[in-house]
Amino acid sequence: MSGGSARDISEFALLERLRNKLGSVGNDADVIVGNGDDAAVIKAADGKCWVVTCDAQVGGVHFPSPENVSGFAVGYKSLAVNMSDVAAMGGRPRFALISLGIPEETPISFLDEMYGGVRALSEQYDILVLGGNVTRTSGPLFVDVFLVGEVVEEKVLRRSGANTGDRILVTGHLGDAAAGLHFSSRSHIQLGEDVRASLTRAQLEPQPRVAEGTAIAESGLATAMMDISDGLAGDIRHLCEASGVGTVLWESELPVSSILIEAASVAEKKPMEWALHGGEDYELLVTTPDESVGALQEVVRQAGGASLTPIGEIVPSSEGISLKRADGIFALENFAWEHFSA
């Protein structure tokens, strides 16, 4: 495709196209992990590595317009999603730079609140915000965070290490963020106040699994890891493609919260639709040998208290990517979040 516009190509096809345009640019012996994972990993000194990532949050795409969302939530989420990428490599976040594109009409009070969210999360995890850039934009507000983390080289976890026979596990619950997004534009629908608030927090203030990610990496028990940002159905596909394997997910074992079940009933939706295809969960997707499942669950429990639930198994690539339901095994449809088809 030489003509057309961004709307004519999928997000992932566009990323691959742009990577190919770079050719060998970025190839270096000091690059441990380059394009194609949650973050890049670069050799530092004394057996350590820098984990680097950047992720933008845009008004109207990742969060509502300023009049419909708190500045605190925007700042918090903008940093949290980048922290999740670093955690997925087994790293600990250290330093951040933040670039802002600000519409002229944005209230100063909103920007103050936004940096309150950044400060709250950076103080909690001892991250130093070293500066950044501010520019005016005629479009919506955007926040682009460049985050640097640190990891011991031998503990780096990639999404490419899963082996046939491994079990697939996930931290926390799936689908709450997608439900929060659904109800954010449906204030007229009757939903319990506590339920709505909890789902909104899941969507706007995700909890990055830093303690869990570093503990998993340090344990040496995991074979692969990534975070879930585009939905389980899409992200397990990315992990399998990187590892050259297939998978069977067990629908009955997918961890969903009681509030998601209640919200799905009100919305007349199936909870598993949000759990599989919703996106923005920012939970960790991990693979480990079957005999290591119990030990890894204990590692995660001691690290942060999050649940770590077995949800499937790795199979040969020839068996594809499928979902085991009560009525049989079916090919798992790929509905990963796509920026240019959303």
Higher pLDDT, 1 or 61: 61
Which tokens sit at 15? 């990323």
d(CA 301, CA 291): 17
d(CA 281, CA 296): 21
Higher pLDDT, 107 or 12: 107
Per-residue pLDDT at 303: 96
pLDDT at residue 335 above 60? no
Segments making up each domain of the chain, as ranges: 6-155, 167-331
E strands, 19-166, where? 31-33, 40-43, 48-58, 92-102, 128-136, 142-152
Which residue do the tokens 């709307």 mark? 7
d(CA 212, CA 299): 8
Task: Say if residues 203 and 280 touch (Cβ distance below 8 Å).
Answer: yes
Per-residue pLDDT at 342: 46
Which tokens sit at 302? 């001691």
Percent of all residues in the chain with a pLDDT value above 70, rounded to a whole number: 94
Task: Say if residues 239 and 108 touch (Cβ distance below 8 Å).
Answer: no
Min mean pLDDT across 27-31, 148-152, 260-264 is at 27-31
H/E element holding 329? strand 328-331
Higher pLDDT, 185 or 160: 160
Per-state percent for the chain, helix, strand, coil, to nearest 5: 40, 25, 35
d(CA 80, CA 337): 18
The letter for the amino acid at 9 is I
d(CA 177, CA 274): 8
d(CA 142, CA 132): 13
What is the average pLDDT score of the chain?
91
| Coil, strand or helix at 90 | coil
pLDDT at residue 138 above 90? yes
For domain 6-155, give the CATH superfamily: PurM-like, N-terminal domain (3.30.1330.10)
Mean pLDDT of the 125-138 span: 97
pTM here is 0.91
Domain covering 167-331, topology: Phosphoribosyl-aminoimidazole Synthetase; Chain A, domain 2 (3.90.650)
Per-residue pLDDT at 174: 98
pLDDT at residue 103 above 70? yes
pLDDT at residue 339 above 50? no
Question: How many Cα atoms occupy the beta-carbon half-sphere of 285 within 13 Å?
Answer: 35
Task: Say if residues 166 and 285 touch (Cβ distance below 8 Å).
Answer: no
d(CA 288, CA 156): 15
pLDDT in tens, 199-224: 999 999 999 999 999 999 999 999 99
